[in-house]
Structure 1
Amino acid sequence: MKKNMKFLSVALVGLIMASCSGETKTSEAETNEVESKKPVTCMYSYSSENTELNFTAYKFLGKTGVGGTFTNVIVKGEESQNAQEVIESLSFKIPISSISTKDEGRDAKIEEHFFGTINTSEITGEVVGLDSLTNTMQLKITMNEVSNDITAKYTLKDGVFTIDAEIDVNDWNGNPGIVALNEVCKELHTDVANGDTESKLWPDVSISFSTELKEKCD
């Protein structure tokens, strides 16, 4: 009888242990399953580390490009789960003193004779809106105390944003600056080798901008 009771007790303990063990495994599995179903939330924000702004101005009658950049571009923007909303919130300020064409003498002349003539120490602007159907955007740019909206082409893919635009500085009453800069660079703006007999500095400027948004997911 004692043997039977001992056997029954061992069996009962084993059953309880097996039952508890099974419940623990099921609970862990259910927890993992619930956690795996939690939605992933990603927030996007502007990244100054991955930003680049370049421009191309044009000289000579044959319209030869001269490239440059601004090494200091101050951009503000909001954080959002939607990358497009981040772009639409952007505003910027560009100090003219940060201009760089890889020629310090030329940089000084541009700053003094072009921007100095039109009394512009910084260029400011903001994104007005995006049209995802046409991949175009509206930008408001202010310099020489004049604000104009321009239309630019843009791309936004996997958090990488680019802009390509063409402007005419005459739209910002910039012709006096063009005349002043062309006067001090007359020889440099005359392509004698290709038959030019006059100097030429065009008011057209091509602009390209790129940035990669920061992405943080929880």
Structure 2
Amino acid sequence: MTRLFKTIVYLSLGVVVLSCNNSEKNKTKSTVDKPSEQLYSYSVDTTGISVLWTAYKFTDKVGVPGTFDRISFNNTEASGSIENLLNKAQLSIQTASVNSKNAIRDPKINTFFFKPFNTPEIKGTILDAKEGEGMVKLYMNRTTHETPFTYSIENDTIKVIAHLDLGYWNGEEGITSLNTECYDLHKGADGISKLWPDVDVVIKLPVRKTPVME
């Protein structure tokens, strides 16, 4: 009976020791296998900034893309996280530089839309940027309105996406003026001439990234 009791005790101790050893191994393995996340500091390459816009015509809402050739971007932080670069940054766009890759259309956009819209320059200030979302304050047609946007980084480029409803900037006069000038060109299959107040905007900010040494 005594020998049996000793055997049971030894077996129990062996199990406890093995369990402790395995636990320590697992802890060590978990610590070793977990890679540390590389952190980066970013800075904007202002020479490569682009602003892409898509306006819409026809009842079927067919997109007409374009860009602007004269853009300036200024941020309060020269380098840091994506959020550091975006927060409080200011954007200025000269509307006379509108470029839809159509030499006939572009002067009409400038003359019959931006001039009645009283907007030789579009001014924007990013109020907040956090976790892929933010708010930008845009000044057009003597009117300021705050608009939400989303952002991400792809291939070393910050991409800011926003949807604008020009009605918030009293854009009806400019829209009507341009649609009247291009009445037949804005007719869809249903014979209705339509120019929408919606504009989708994508701002691309190329960045340089530098590893942060911990």
TM-score range, shorter chain: 0.7 to 0.9
Does structure 1 residue 195 correspond to structure 2 residue 190? yes
Q: Secondary structure at the match of 2:104?
A: helix
Q: Could you tell me how far apart the structure 1 residues matched to 2:40 and 2:149 are?
A: 28
Runs of 4+ aligned structure 1 residues displaced above 3 Å come to 41-44, 156-159, 215-218
**Rg comparison, structure with higher value:** 1
Task: Pick one of 44, 49, 52 that aligns with 2:50.
Answer: 52
Distance 1:115 1:206, change over 3 A: same
Asked whether the 8 Å contact 2:42–2:210 carries over to 1, the reply is yes
> Is the CA contact 1:161–1:210 (under 8 Å) kept in the aligned structure 2?
yes
Q: Secondary structure at 2:47's aligned position in 1?
A: helix
Matches within 5 A, 1:136-151: 136-151=133-148
When normalised by structure 2's length, the TM-score is 0.75
Please state if 1:82 is matched with 2:76.
no
**CA distance in 2: counterparts of 1:58 and 1:129, whole angstroms:** 28
Q: Which range is displaced more, 79-88 or 144-153?
A: 79-88
CA distance in 1, matches of 2:121, 2:41: 31
Which runs of no fewer than 5 residues in structure 2 stay unpaired?
1-38
Q: Partners of 2:186 and 2:68 in 1: how far apart? A: 22
1:6-33 CA-partner distances (Å, limit 9, x unpaired): xxxxxxxxxxxxxxxxxxxxxxxxxxxx
Q: Secondary structure at the match of 1:68?
A: strand
Following superposition of structure 1 onto structure 2, how do residues 160-199 of structure 1 map, counting pairs within 5 Å? 160-191=157-188, 194-196=189-191, 198-199=192-193
1:98-133 deviation line (CA, Å, top 9, x unaligned) = 10001122111111111100211010001110121x
1:206-217 correspondence to structure 2 within 5 Å: 206-215=200-209
Q: Give the letter aligned to residue 124 of structure 2.
A: G
- Provide the C-alpha distance between the structure 1 equivalents of 2:155 and 2:63, rounded to a whole number of angstroms: 31
Deviation by residue 1:162-197 (Cα, 9 ceiling, x = unmatched): 111111111100100000000000010012xx232x
- Secondary structure at the residue paired with 1:103? coil
CA contact (8 A) 1:46 1:76 kept: no
How many residues of Structure 1 are paired with residues of Structure 2 in the alignment? 174
Contact 1:109–1:181 (CA<8 Å) still a contact in 2? yes
1:94 to partner: Cα distance: 0.2
How many angstroms apart in 1 are the aligned matches of 2:115 and 2:165? 18
For the aligned residue pairs, the C-alpha RMSD in angstroms reads 2.1
- Identity percentage of aligned residues: 30
SS of 2:158's partner is strand
The Cα of 1:73 is off from its aligned counterpart by 1.0
Q: CA deviation at 1:89?
A: 3.4
The 2-side partners of 1:186 and 1:121 are apart by: 24
TM-score normalised per structure 1: 0.74
Gaps of 5+ in 1: 1-40
